Structure 1
């Protein structure tokens, strides 16, 4: 019976999928499977032939393999590896090369013989590539093929660098990279213009010959393409769908990457459900959007025709369910994000008392606050709360180099205008110009340049917070140390980051904290900053009584938005408030027009924010609630 239930649950899935709670757990399990293969081959006196992948996805697997080597004596002496791909052209000692990646993450830390390591050569002359690729295939065939191939997946659906349009029988070859693939790699190269347009990749046909294939994916960013690869039709437009034809493949996912698969996203379509409040809310909203009716107009027939007959039977009649969910959504809407004084707050998102709250808005970068919750920020100030804003990082990596020169020129001219000697500034300015003239992509800036970039972001942040109505004493530019070495790969978080956060919280003793819950940012800074806040609160809870009355609200907006069923507080904005928010965002001039790191969304941040806020309001309107100009959304985090 359990087997039949599982088959029904996964009936939309066209290949085997294993889901783990998180990336770390999944990575350890995959590493264990690789280790078991190596050990089994050692017992037989045979070599283990592995196909390896690069990118962020397998980093945890390699880290666990290194641990197994160091702590449990796992030897790699009998291992032969073939990497999937390499950019072309690419020098092996370049920071972005996959030779560097594999050495840093695996090969430099284990006992694999170097002659057993094979990575496509990015230094070849063009007329040498075809013969080289044939030989790469021949070497794999001579070893009787790959025992195990591990894969990641790109957002185009590529495996290796087999982009849309690749043939299922393709071999190792030179390919042209998709524009989205190059955009995703742009941060590593200091801009898309520096990303190679081509790569050498093992072909889909070569991958298929492996005796075992494991494709791994983590995070919600991969959820849409995972759904296509697992549940979609086989198509050259999504090369990973070819894996549906293999008898030897398994997808290993974390819960976030699996979140859009039918059994997790809309489980009522494949199984009987335990209809708790959250699932009921999600399902009714989904039904309303699917049949394009306001919630209060949904009928028993709508429920029955869309996999929700069980819900209508258990909790119906349908109209009673509709009324309940409508009222739940209605109660999320509030014009009082700090709580409405002297109001009955039993069904309001925030407490009525104290009427004037102490509030800390944490902003990972110096503009996340106004981009994501600028309207709510301004309203909290207007309603008389003691609002503090804390900019967790300086954001100094996201300033154009020519802005540094412009500000330095201003400083030199200002000194000259008041009769000051600007000799030192002039010398520093010339040093900066010289540095920029030879600067390589992603080369860390000098300390002086980082300082100027940080000053630029700081001045903009202060201007925006002042525009929102804050006095300077409530603006805290923290510049947490983990961020401040000027590299794109940040330092690990230390006690200093947490203690600085604890000190601010002790000083303010807030009733409300707002923090970025938008973990889709391409920098990874948001999740790091959020974890720092959580750890600071955990430690403070041991000694500080006020923590029990402090609520933590998450906001999103710059990169992603909460789904409607997740929203616990929706703050409506008038057209005038939307305009005030826009002007606050405009204070961040270094991020206007074209930010250094825009991600894969070409819109300016203020445009993204406004369109997302309007879309949230549109969803509420379509569900049958009031029609507002825009809405900012929040979810309470219960720590």
Structure 2
């Protein structure tokens, strides 16, 4: 494991010049954000040690947000376990919201203290973070002094960056000047929308911030920009391969002589050498790559698969594929059949049918299906059509709601439910007293303040009731609804704890109890606050334990991954697609409507302000449209799945 080594890990993808001909910035791709963070932390540690030997200071430019947290974790580990001292380190943070008190849970001062400074031996006078408590008329002078401090320190040796969805670096929004310095800026609506989940609503996000300028950042001797996850893939492609323009401030980094982008595979997935490698060099063709290339070509030319010609393949860098495999017609037929076989109206397997070319087995029938739902509505939002089909076809369907989802309930919902309960139990003085206490707490509550345990419990019960209503509507037995309330989630804040053995044990126990023939789990890793990712890791850990213990039933279990409200699988990756007719699409939407606390306005909309049912409908109809354009039958909508193939004995 990378954590036990002090040697930097190597990038996962080739670094030859030909494959990188579209890239204008050095990019290094690692197999995980963990390994990539370790790589960056080692470079920072090496600089600090080198300067210590020279009797000099190391000057670091630091970023906040979820991206650099693992880097800071490793630096703390190096300090505690390897004796790395930070006494010769001076730091300058990129930005801070304005106005902002340093002890606020949203403050970058507090963030840096909690993630790094409180755990190392850095001198407090060497820490520099923009001051969010200033009077507006004092900001300009502060910014000029901040710039002077950087210059007096000898300039920044390593500047660590993340990247926003608009391409902003620091809080330099689209339109920022190449020569801009530290200043007060107005935040773009997209940036504020992305931060809304942390502030429990867009209305609570500050409209301004103090940030280092683009010119300040570019003056650093070394720049490392990090990005993780599918959600950053498109903007990384623009920053690395696009033209330099003010509308995407990160493209200015193309002008820097010593800038590297450190990415995980998901964030790098839209780079040309990874998404369409046949456009940059000759490929070693395999079945998966042939399918991806053919589907890409079909979409690019707006032609059905079976209409592609030898000339089409040759024109788009796939002449060697024709030479290796044969004619376009032969390739087209292979890929067409592969795609056709992913489509099934029997997600639990079709009884008494030849299943040799079907995604699911016919036996046993009926099956026991266990659907893991990270939040109490992900099941119906993401695979509601498939869930309904499984129930209709007689399978025993269980739903495991992994978290309570309590932080996504608005305070008004608590008052509404307590109002109702008080009216029903008008003579209950204890209930009335509790209601008054809750109202008093909520009326004095500050944005982002953690709810009391009692209110957290009420919000969890609201979501539990909605989930049960959806189960009843879909025909799932209420006894088959399992509310796990995994402990990692129960912090009352957007920031969650790392998952623990207790989370894995709860999941393990449920799997052993149900012994499903098929598992459905959320493979959507781009949800804005990471719950889906953690929930999937917990499931994987429980499955790994079952495999190690030699549980007989797990070896006959299929694991299907669906994606949630944030994005869909690429068509080339889908291994099972379930058509949804107009009637079932309406039933799916009605099941989503049962989650009334999430209706009309969600607490955490992410980067899409539409309601969840609208996102789900658009995503499912778009998948059907794409299948039809490729030459498949025309369906109303489709849900897609990828099979997780775990190691079997």
Q: Same fold by TM-score, threshold 0.5 exceeded?
A: yes
Q: How does 1:337-376 map to 2 (within 5 A)?
A: 337-376=347-386
- Number of aligned residue pairs: give it: 633
Q: Normalising by structure 1, what TM-score? A: 0.97
Alignment partner, residue 627 of structure 2: 620
RMSD across aligned C-alpha pairs, in angstroms? 1.3
Give matches, 1:165-244, under 5 Å. Answer: 165-244=175-254
Aligned to 2:639: 632
Question: Which residues of structure 1 form unaligned runs of 5+?
Answer: none
Give the superposition deviation at 1:467.
Answer: 0.8
Q: Is the Cα contact below 8 Å between 2:230 and 2:525 reproduced in 1?
A: no
Q: Does residue 534 of structure 1 match 2:575?
A: no
The match for 1:327 among 309, 322, 337 is 337
Aligned to 1:77: 87
> Contact (CA 8 Å) 2:197, 2:605: kept in 1 or not?
no
After TM superposition, give the deviation of residue 114 of structure 1 in Å. 0.8
For residues 154-193 of structure 1, give each alpha carbon's deviation from its aligned partner in whole angstroms, at most 9, with x where no partner exists: 1111111111101111111111111111111112212111
Post-superposition offset of 1:314: 0.8
Q: TM-score, normalised by structure 2?
A: 0.96
Following the alignment from structure 1 to structure 2, what is the Cα–Cα distance between the partners of residues 496 and 135? 49
**Structure 2 residue aligned with 1:568, among 568, 575, 584?**
575
Q: Is residue 2:448 matched to residue 1:448? A: no
- Secondary structure in structure 2 of the residue aligned to 1:188: coil
Shift of 1:523: 2.2
The structural deviation recorded for 1:146 is 1.3
Give the equivalent residue in structure 2 for 1:257: 267
- Contact 1:337 1:380 (8 Å CA) reproduced: yes
Shift of 1:439: 0.5
1:460 is aligned to 466
| Alignment partner of 2:409 out of 385, 399, 402 | 399
Structure 2: which 5+ runs fail to align? Answer: 1-12
Shift of 1:291: 0.5
For the Cα contact (< 8 Å) 1:482–1:493, is it kept in 2?
Answer: yes
Q: How far is 1:543 from its partner? A: 4.1
- 1:472 and 1:154 map into 2 onto residues whose CA distance is 42
Matched, 1:279 2:307: no
What residue in structure 2 maps to residue 469 of structure 1? Answer: 475
Q: Which residue of 1 aligns with 2:609?
A: 602
The 1-side partners of 2:621 and 2:514 are apart by: 33
| Alpha-carbon contact 1:557-1:612 (below 8 Å) kept | no
Which residue in 1 is equivalent to 2:494?
488
Question: 2:3 aligns to what?
Answer: none
Q: Secondary structure at the match of 1:565?
A: coil
Cα distance, 1:277 vs. partner? 0.8
Task: Give the distance between the partners of 1:218 and 1:528, measured in 2 at CA.
Answer: 15
Aligned to 2:565: 558
Q: CA deviation at 1:235?
A: 0.0
Aligned counterpart, 2:10: none
The answer on 1:87 being equivalent to 2:97 is yes
1:481 CA drift (Å) = 2.1
Q: Secondary structure at the match of 1:582?
A: helix
SS in 2 for 1:189: coil
Report deviation, 1:44. Answer: 1.4
Q: Within 5 A, what are the aligned runs for 1:475-514? A: 475-514=481-520
* Residues in 2 aligned to 1:280 and 1:120: alpha-carbon distance in whole angstroms: 51
* In structure 2, distance between residues paired with 1:414 and 1:623: 57
Runs of 4+ in 1 over 4 A off after TM superposition: none
Residues 197, 603 of structure 2: 8 Å contact kept: no
* C-alpha deviation, 1:487, in angstroms: 2.2
Counterpart-to-counterpart distance in 2, 1:59 and 1:71:
18
CA drift at 1:240: 0.7
**Contact 2:181 2:215 survives alignment (8 Å):** yes
Q: Matched residues in 2 for 1:142 and 1:484: separation? A: 46
3-state SS of paired residue (1:594): coil
Question: Does the 8 Å CA contact 2:224/2:259 hold for their aligned counterparts?
Answer: yes
Query: Conserved in 1, the CA contact under 8 Å of 2:167 and 2:239?
Result: yes
Q: Which residue of structure 1 aligns with residue 52 of structure 2?
A: 42
**1:587 corresponds to 2:594:** yes
Give me the whole-angstrom Cα distance separating, in 2, the residues matched to 1:452 and 1:104: 29
Residues in 2 aligned to 1:413 and 1:203: alpha-carbon distance in whole angstroms:
57
Give SS of 2:398's match: strand
Offset of residue 148 of structure 1: 1.5
Once the two structures are superposed, what CA deviation does each residue of 1:99-140 show, in whole Å capped at 9, x if it has no partner?
Answer: 111111111111111111111111111111111111111111
2:119 maps to 1:112? no
* Counterpart secondary structure, 2:448: coil
Distance in 2 separating the partners of 1:243 and 1:596:
35
2:28 corresponds to which residue? 18
Helix, strand or coil for the counterpart of 1:564?
coil
For the residue of structure 1 that corresponds to 2:46, the secondary structure is helix
Query: Is the CA contact 2:398–2:482 (under 8 Å) kept in the aligned structure 1?
Result: yes
Q: CA deviation at 1:484?
A: 2.4
Secondary structure, in 3 states, of the residue corresponding to 1:476? strand
| Conservation of the 8 A alpha-carbon contact between 1:15 and 1:244 | yes
Shift of 1:4: 11
Which deviates further from its counterpart, 118-127 or 425-434? 118-127
How far the C-alpha of 1:293 sits from its partner, in A, is 0.4
User: 1-side partners of 2:565 and 2:289: how far apart?
Assistant: 27
Instruction: Give how far 1:40 is off.
Output: 1.3
CA distance in 2, matches of 1:495, 1:248: 42
After superposition, the C-alpha distances for 1:397-417 in whole angstroms (9 at most, x for unaligned) are 11111111111111111123x
Change beyond 3 A, Cα 1:99–1:621: same
Structure 2 Cα separation of the partners of residues 293 and 524 of structure 1: 38
Aligned counterpart for 2:522 among listed residues 516, 520, 541: 516
Q: In structure 2, which of residues 394, 397, 409 is the aligned counterpart of residue 387 of structure 1?
A: 397
Partner of 1:430: 436
Displacement after TM superposition at 1:5 (Å): 7.9
**CA deviation profile, 1:508-553 (whole Å, cap 9, x unmatched):** 2111111111111112111111111111122222142111101100
User: 1:430 offset after TM fit, Å?
Assistant: 0.3
